[in-house]
Amino acid sequence: MPIAQIKEKIMSDFTYAFNKLPDRSEISGRAAKPAALAFRGKLQLYWASWNKYGWPELSTFTPDPEEAKKAFSAAAEDFKHVIEDYGLNLFRNGEPGDWGTMGNAEVLPNYYYMFIPSTGNANDGGEMIFYFTHGGVGSAQGDPYMRDFGGRSQENSQCCLTPAMRLVNRYQSTKTGDFLPEVVGMNPSDPNARTAENSALNPESYANRDYRMKATMLWDYEMIMSLSSQKETGYVPFIFKNWGGKVEINGKEYTTYRTDRSVDGYVFRKFIRNYGGAGRDEGDMNWPVIRLADVFLMYAEADNEVNGPQPYAIDLVNRVRHRGNLPPLTADKTANYDAFFSAIEQERIVELVAEGQRSFDLRRWRAIERAWGIYVGGPAVYNYDSHGAQRQGWFFGLSALALRQAYIFKIPQSERDRNPNLTQNTPWL
């Protein structure tokens, strides 16, 4: 079946859902009209992206620039209805809240509280347009997110996901609204490591940054609540490679954050509960699939494709930035299509981190090479930890075939065994 025909069937499903659903659902986890519109708009945004940038790995697809323009316009229209017609608002009105103080977690920015059940599940304002619900303790349907994002200090979690320094350097200055000099790893045996300008081990390197950074991750000497046997057991400081050790801070002795799974020098705070009452697999969190901030940014992207930077779209991006206590975009960031696209991409990275959006954005924009700085046959890309040591390496001797495979999934053999009419995507033959 041609991909365009499949797309139209999906479109008709979203349109049918929109016509049947209520304006707002009174039951947690049930969809309403904004969800159907947001999904329909997102489908059209992806369709437009494929038609603009091409999808050569899909041999049956032929891009059409005119179809791209039409789909970008239709996507923007759907997103605008979501934004304007249903009384939705950003979590806590999009206000940044309080950053607190360095090395203190008793107060955290509002962005953090959007993702934990005690404050985020109420969905005040309706930021969570569509989300997956979980049952919590004793339901056999609890969420396991703390197990993945937390360390041993949080109910013996496993820290399967950690931020890298690439992400650290994405958080902009609350003073200038632009990027700061990149932090660099330093060996802790260096007597200047904790005080050198822009050292990854110097807490001051993280001062005056986007509030979403503190709400998303920990760096050396940042605190997080320790949880054991479903009880709060006090704050623990994160110190890279000092796992479960003793450290004195401001005259008080602490046991440090326990995990040997952090390989980059940072761990997540986002999605980790800071209160007791549930084990590592027993959360009742609402996992976000589409949020209002995402819709703001998708609208800005789609409208920029058709009309270039416009005041309405710029305002939406600035509203997302305000959550990080960042100043509005400067004139040079909205001067033309390319500059505004870069600003939108930047916001998508820091606003939607760890929500499963980035890899798909890079595919639909044909931007894997740009984002990673790679090319066929080129050198590997290495990540360095906060101690300056070389860690992971990617794209060793990248081949043309491997790059093509990065843009399209392999159809599982089990699916082809069930349906002999299924062929295989070309790069995986």
Question: What pLDDT, on the 0 to 100 scale, is given for residue 4?
Answer: 94
Mean pLDDT of 324-345: 98
pLDDT digits (tens, 9 = 90+) for 219-258: 999 999 999 999 999 999 999 999 999 999 999 999 999 9
Average pLDDT over the chain, rounded to an integer: 96
Structural domain contains residue 321? no
Q: Which of 87, 113, 147 is the last residue of a domain?
A: 87
Whether residues 55 and 138 share a domain: the answer is no
Q: Any bridge partners for residue 381, and if so which?
A: 394
The amino acid at 294: D
Extract the runs of DSSP E, i.e. beta strands, from 54-198. 128-132
Whether residues 138 and 61 share a domain: the answer is no
Whether residues 71 and 151 share a domain: the answer is no
Q: Above 90 in pLDDT, residue 324? A: yes
Question: What pLDDT, on the 0 to 100 scale, is given for residue 256?
Answer: 97
Structural domain contains residue 372? no
DSSP 8-state secondary structure symbol assigned to residue 321: H
Whether residues 255 and 176 share a domain: the answer is yes
Angle between helices 292-307 and 337-351 (to 10 degrees): 170
Structural domain contains residue 219? yes
Structural domain contains residue 370? no
Q: Any bridge partners for residue 154, and if so which?
A: 227
Q: In sequence order, what DSSP letters do the residues of 10-41 get, joined into one string?
A: HHHHHHHHHHHS-SS-SSTT---HHHHHHHHH
Question: What pLDDT, on the 0 to 100 scale, is given for residue 145?
Answer: 94
Q: Which two tokens stand for residue 424?
A: 């295989």
Q: Put residue 179 in one of left, alpha, beta given phi > 0 → left and psi -120 to 50 → alpha.
A: beta
Q: Which of 21, 56, 87 is the last residue of a domain?
A: 87
Whether residues 139 and 284 share a domain: the answer is yes
Q: Above 90 in pLDDT, residue 317? A: yes
Q: Above 90 in pLDDT, residue 60? A: no
Cβ contacts of residue 288 below 8 Å, gap of 6+?
A: 115, 128, 131, 355
Q: Above 90 in pLDDT, residue 2? A: no
Whether residues 54 and 176 share a domain: the answer is no
Q: Above 90 in pLDDT, residue 290? A: yes
- Full domain range(s) for residue 398: 381-428
Structural domain contains residue 423? yes
Structural domain contains residue 119? no
Whether residues 167 and 26 share a domain: the answer is no
C-alpha 115/C-alpha 117 separation (Å) is: 7
Mean pLDDT of 62-89: 98
Cβ contacts of residue 191 below 8 Å, gap of 6+?
A: none
Question: What pLDDT, on the 0 to 100 scale, is given for residue 206?
Answer: 97
Mean pLDDT of 7-35: 96
**Confidence grade of residue 266 (pLDDT, cut at 50, 70, 90):** very high
DSSP 8-state secondary structure symbol assigned to residue 264: S
Whether residues 81 and 220 share a domain: the answer is no
Of the chain, the percentage scoring pLDDT greater than 90 comes to 97
Q: Above 90 in pLDDT, residue 1? A: no
Question: What pLDDT, on the 0 to 100 scale, is given for residue 71?
Answer: 98
Contact 313, 171 (CB under 8 A): no
Whether residues 62 and 187 share a domain: the answer is no
pLDDT digits (tens, 9 = 90+) for 130-187: 999 999 999 999 999 999 999 999 999 999 999 999 999 999 999 999 999 999 999 9
Mean pLDDT of 294-315: 98
pLDDT digits (tens, 9 = 90+) for 383-421: 999 999 999 899 999 999 999 999 999 999 999 999 999
Structural domain contains residue 385? yes
Structural domain contains residue 393? yes
Question: What pLDDT, on the 0 to 100 scale, is given for residue 345?
Answer: 98
Q: How many domains does the chain have?
A: 3
Whether residues 138 and 253 share a domain: the answer is yes
pLDDT digits (tens, 9 = 90+) for 200-214: 999 999 999 999 999
Q: Which of 251, 273, 288 is the last residue of a domain?
A: 288
Q: What is the pTM of this model?
A: 0.97
Whether residues 78 and 145 share a domain: the answer is no
Nearest CA-CA partner of 324 in 167, 209, 168: 209
CB count in 10 Å sphere of residue 316: 25
Whether residues 247 and 144 share a domain: the answer is yes
